[in-house]
Structure 1
Amino acid sequence: MCLAGGALTMASCAQDDLTGEQFGSGVRNSQLVAPSADQISVTPSTDGSQQIIAWPVVDGAGGYHAVLTNVDNGEVVKDTLIDGITFAAQRIEDTNYTLALSVLDNEKLNNKGSEAVTKAFSTFTATYQVIPDGTDLATYFEENAVPDEGLTTMLCYDLQPGGEYTMSKSVDFGNKQVTLRTTSISNHAKLKLTADNVSIKTGTIFALKNLDIDASQSFDPLISLSTPDESIKGTGDYYIVRGALTINGCNITGVNNNLIYDGNKKYCYESVVINNTMAHLTLSSQTNVSGNAVIYFKGGFANTLQVSNSTIWNTGDSDSKYFVQYNNSGRATRAGYNNSNVNFLNCTFYNIAKTGQWANYGGFNGQKCSYFDVERNIFVDCGNKQVIRRILGGRSASSYDVAKTLFNTYMFDGEFESTGGIVENYDVTGNCLETDPGFKDAKNGDFTISGSAQLENKTGDPRWIKTAE
């Protein structure tokens, strides 16, 4: 059964067929009642990509109408008629949802359907503590130390949507797993660093999510790694963190120094992930960033670096030498991993390491265990017109088992690294884009694109892809 426009579809679930015996349940000539919100269960699939939504049978029902909505962006994820009692839908981490479930008429039994019952739920990890609006986080964590539970469990501290917070001095979470977040993607809490030497410090799994961070008063790295816990020392004498350092859904302004710095400790993070984030760098001559990198592992390295769906740009009075720099000894096999990854996916970069090099990680160069994936990015005035060459460590794409490139723009001072869609030896797919992306106002942080090739291939940070209504 299909309804107009394909918006509603009939989905059949083998677990419960509301025909035959079930329709003969004896419930006739009745006003049916939908299951309560508490009776509706939501269970993630094993890999977390799907959510299974189920409810108890309503005897005498003619079926059900379910509407699942992503509250954060208003998208209707699923609008479906169901003759069973369960369905599966896409699951996105850190998202708020509502389900509207109604029981349908059963004309054969003369049963009248119900009004919709609404269940609100989210895919956020459970909140550990809510920090009151107006709090200085430095004072808060001095008075409320992260408990030992954080040694093995991620503890999520929620900043209130629209709240305003400060950090008057560095906060060191050490070996405790912490997430600082807002559980609203549309109404971020605001965090302002209020001294010139403030960093957020960690030595384990850590995340910043859905925050607006003003780092303009600090000249220390935004995130700096702590003195490591000796218990995590592993292969190659690396301090190995089995998990991710994550920046997701954040708007960060006034970064005068490194975005991430390892404190010259021999860390190997399993992953460093930057996603759906805007980071406005104002790199300062009052720091040493001109001799190092935006993401700077002086003593160690990140086994996987993934930057996706993000915009990072610099308008400071200084510039970094590199976007990413690792200690040259860093290599996957030296820390017990089979392979490493450097991934840049759907990002917009502007005016970073303009006279320097995009990447410097000598231990990755030319190694079969080094994997690269560079797709649908826009690089403008970055990396001295050698972005993809430096991402691949100065070695040809054929040197690696995995070196994927697709629809990238490498533009420098109005010219392109590529010719005829190819950067010889490095991006050899033949589909490099050689038209100006047409940023609306890059110097003031508006990277809305007007370039036809970039629009057609949906490149750069997706937030800047806007089409006429």
Structure 2
Amino acid sequence: MKQLFLLLLTVIFCGLAYSQTAVLPGDGTLSAALAAASDGAVLQLSPGGLYTENIQFLLDSLKARKIMLLGRANVSQTMPKVTLTTPGGTRNFFLLYNGASLKVKGIEFDGTDSVAHLVQCVFTGTANTDTMHFGYIIVDDCEIHHLTNTVIEGAGSKYSYTDSVIVNNTIMHDSKTTIHFKAAAVDYLSIKNSTFYRIRSYGLRIGGPGNAGLANHTTEAVIDHTTWNDITKTDERQVLLCEGGTGANLKQWTVKNSIIANQSHAVQQNQNAISLKGMANGAIINNMCFWDLSNPAAAINSNTPLHIVADTISMNPQFKDTANGDFTIQNAALPKGADGLVLGDTRWGPRTAVDDVVSGLPREFSVDQNFPNPFNPTTSIRFSLPRASNVSVKVFTLLGQEVASVFSGYKAAGVHTMPFNAAHLGSGVYFYKVEAGKFVDVKKMVLVK
């Protein structure tokens, strides 16, 4: 079901008539590009570039549009950085309005303790019963830090809902809360291979008492291979909290292969690390490591009769240097997850994010947008392989007819660029598909002659 959902997101985005725009580093260049971007636009930021703003910037930037911002292609490159030139005031990086969607990938966002949210869904109704519907929010391979409030904030209406929030391969730190949908709903939540630390309040909160809107939009969630450290730093809350609203019966939550550590220092005490309530389809919590909790005798609280808790341990993971954000696991006795990988964010295992940068190897399979696009008649297709694979790159028409085989064969781990010459094809929209083992990705390109 989750794979089908993500495929549908890809198809929906590819179905838009979008343009790709390179945004040069500088002061005000990103907000100007967003203001001019059409629905479905892809903005390509320069790896290692600095993007600064000195206004309440990116305010109203998305309206009802679907926008994608891309930074680095793999960990051998430096993330472009988006920040402020003049700290102060109440600001947001992105505001989403009814119908809007956003994807950011490979970018650092530095709030300088002045920006409130990375993303805020905005309620624009005239009555509290008005419904706001937001699309998807996808954050992939990003670092987001020093925000004064929540990184991703739902709209302030109990009848507002977001289709999906997906966070992968991301680090969030030194902010109030990571994801907060207390007064709104999100239908699907996925957090994988990510790290969160020095978070002042909830690590994550979905729903709350009296939220009637959740009765029709109930959250299904998968939280897998995540590291949570020093959460609820000054305002002790639960690390992971989900509460069904009035009449709500939440879908299944799965929390697994993760580490929650160093929660015991906060002002209030005896809070559960995980509290999941009102779930008609139960909760599955397994292969978890808990350490130094506020309430070690009751790390998990779930009032559903259908929850399963298995293979949880209390063990110090012995993080290398938490003060400087290095969560490399030094305790060799720490068990592996159910999938045989290190517990928590796998980048802190035997092969760390630092090792990836030194070796230049990607952490994950990925396919970049072809460049240039639109093109005539040549373009380049780039993809990243974390390990050696048999690779196939093919081009299809809108009707699914194969018109070119760009490459078929074996490729070593690394980043590869395949040239494609479409001199034999007519102008139009085409799709290119990259397959590497079980990994498949499809993107759209436009040939203009």
TM-score range (shorter-chain normalised) is 0.5 to 0.7
Confirm or deny that 1:238 pairs with 2:131. yes
Which residue matches 2:22? 130
Map 1:45-56; keep pairs closer than 5 Å.
none
Confirm or deny that 1:300 pairs with 2:197. no
Once residues 138 and 302 of structure 2 are traced to their aligned partners in structure 1, the CA distance between those partners, rounded to angstroms, is 34
Structure 2 unaligned blocks of 5 or more: 11-16, 356-449
Which residue matches 1:4? none
Q: Which of 101, 119, 124 is 1:205 aligned to?
A: 101
Q: Which of 216, 220, 234 is 1:341 aligned to?
A: 220
Once residues 239 and 332 of structure 1 are traced to their aligned partners in structure 2, the CA distance between those partners, rounded to angstroms, is 11
Query: What amino acid maps onto 1:155 in structure 2?
Result: A
Query: What amino acid maps onto 1:295 in structure 2?
Result: I
Confirm or deny that 1:168 pairs with 2:54. yes
Query: For residues 135-194 of structure 1, what are the alpha-carbon distances to aligned partners after superposition, in whole Å with 9 as ceiling and x for unaligned?
Result: 42465147x4333xx1xxx22111112221113232121111111111512322111133
Which residue matches 1:460? 344
Query: For residues 340-389 of structure 1, what are the alpha-carbon distances to aligned partners after superposition, in whole Å with 9 as ceiling and x for unaligned?
Result: 21321100011112522234543259955421100011001348565454
Query: What amino acid maps onto 2:50 in structure 1?
Result: E
Query: What amino acid maps onto 2:163 in structure 1?
Result: E
Once residues 301 and 182 of structure 2 are traced to their aligned partners in structure 1, the CA distance between those partners, rounded to angstroms, is 30
SS across alignment from 1:161:
coil
Once residues 417 and 389 of structure 1 are traced to their aligned partners in structure 2, the CA distance between those partners, rounded to angstroms, is 12
Alpha-carbon spacing, 1:134–1:439, altered in 2? closer, same or farther (3 Å): same
Asked if 2 retains the 8 angstrom alpha-carbon contact of 1:238 and 1:300, the reply is: no
Q: Which of 154, 171, 175 is 1:278 aligned to?
A: 171
SS across alignment from 2:320:
coil
Q: What is the deviation of 1:334?
A: 3.2
Structure 1 unaligned blocks of 5 or more: 1-45, 51-92, 94-124, 284-288
Alpha-carbon spacing, 1:413–1:296, altered in 2? closer, same or farther (3 Å): closer
Asked if 2 retains the 8 angstrom alpha-carbon contact of 1:300 and 1:327, the reply is: no
Map 1:178-197; keep pairs closer than 5 Å.
178-186=67-75, 187=77, 188-194=79-85, 195-196=87-88, 197=90
Q: Which of 176, 186, 198 is 1:314 aligned to?
A: 198
Which residue matches 2:156? 264
Provide the aligned length of Structure 1 versus Structure 2: 322
Confirm or deny that 1:372 pairs with 2:261. no
Q: What is the deviation of 1:414?
A: 9.3
Map 1:433-444; keep pairs closer than 5 Å.
433-444=313-324
Which residue matches 1:431? 311
Once residues 253 and 297 of structure 1 are traced to their aligned partners in structure 2, the CA distance between those partners, rounded to angstroms, is 19
Once residues 190 and 336 of structure 2 are traced to their aligned partners in structure 1, the CA distance between those partners, rounded to angstroms, is 24
Q: What is the deviation of 1:244?
A: 1.3
SS across alignment from 1:374:
strand
Alpha-carbon spacing, 1:410–1:385, altered in 2? closer, same or farther (3 Å): farther
Once residues 5 and 222 of structure 2 are traced to their aligned partners in structure 1, the CA distance between those partners, rounded to angstroms, is 22
TM-score, structure 1 normalization:
0.59
Q: What is the deviation of 1:327?
A: 4.8
Confirm or deny that 1:447 pairs with 2:447. no
Once residues 211 and 303 of structure 2 are traced to their aligned partners in structure 1, the CA distance between those partners, rounded to angstroms, is 24
Alpha-carbon spacing, 1:215–1:160, altered in 2? closer, same or farther (3 Å): same
Map 1:242-257; keep pairs closer than 5 Å.
243-257=135-149
Map 1:400-439; keep pairs closer than 5 Å.
400-413=280-293, 416-417=296-297, 428-439=308-319
Larger fraction in strand: 2
Which residue matches 1:363? 244
Alpha-carbon spacing, 1:190–1:348, altered in 2? closer, same or farther (3 Å): same
Once residues 83 and 120 of structure 2 are traced to their aligned partners in structure 1, the CA distance between those partners, rounded to angstroms, is 17
Query: What amino acid maps onto 1:245 in structure 2?
Result: I
Q: What is the deviation of 1:205?
A: 1.0
Once residues 368 and 444 of structure 1 are traced to their aligned partners in structure 2, the CA distance between those partners, rounded to angstroms, is 41
Once residues 50 and 350 of structure 2 are traced to their aligned partners in structure 1, the CA distance between those partners, rounded to angstroms, is 30
Once residues 159 and 414 of structure 1 are traced to their aligned partners in structure 2, the CA distance between those partners, rounded to angstroms, is 42
SS across alignment from 1:370:
coil
Once residues 331 and 270 of structure 2 are traced to their aligned partners in structure 1, the CA distance between those partners, rounded to angstroms, is 20
Alpha-carbon spacing, 1:417–1:222, altered in 2? closer, same or farther (3 Å): farther
Once residues 331 and 208 of structure 1 are traced to their aligned partners in structure 2, the CA distance between those partners, rounded to angstroms, is 31
Map 1:109-120; keep pairs closer than 5 Å.
none
Once residues 417 and 379 of structure 1 are traced to their aligned partners in structure 2, the CA distance between those partners, rounded to angstroms, is 14
Q: What is the deviation of 1:424?
A: 9.1
Q: What is the deviation of 1:299?
A: 3.2
Q: Which of 221, 227, 231 is 2:117 aligned to?
A: 221
TM-score, structure 2 normalization:
0.61
Structure of higher CA gyration radius: 1
Confirm or deny that 1:324 pairs with 2:205. yes
Q: What is the deviation of 1:269?
A: 0.3
Confirm or deny that 1:158 pairs with 2:44. yes
Alpha-carbon spacing, 1:341–1:417, altered in 2? closer, same or farther (3 Å): farther
Asked if 2 retains the 8 angstrom alpha-carbon contact of 1:193 and 1:217, the reply is: no
Q: What is the deviation of 1:214?
A: 1.3
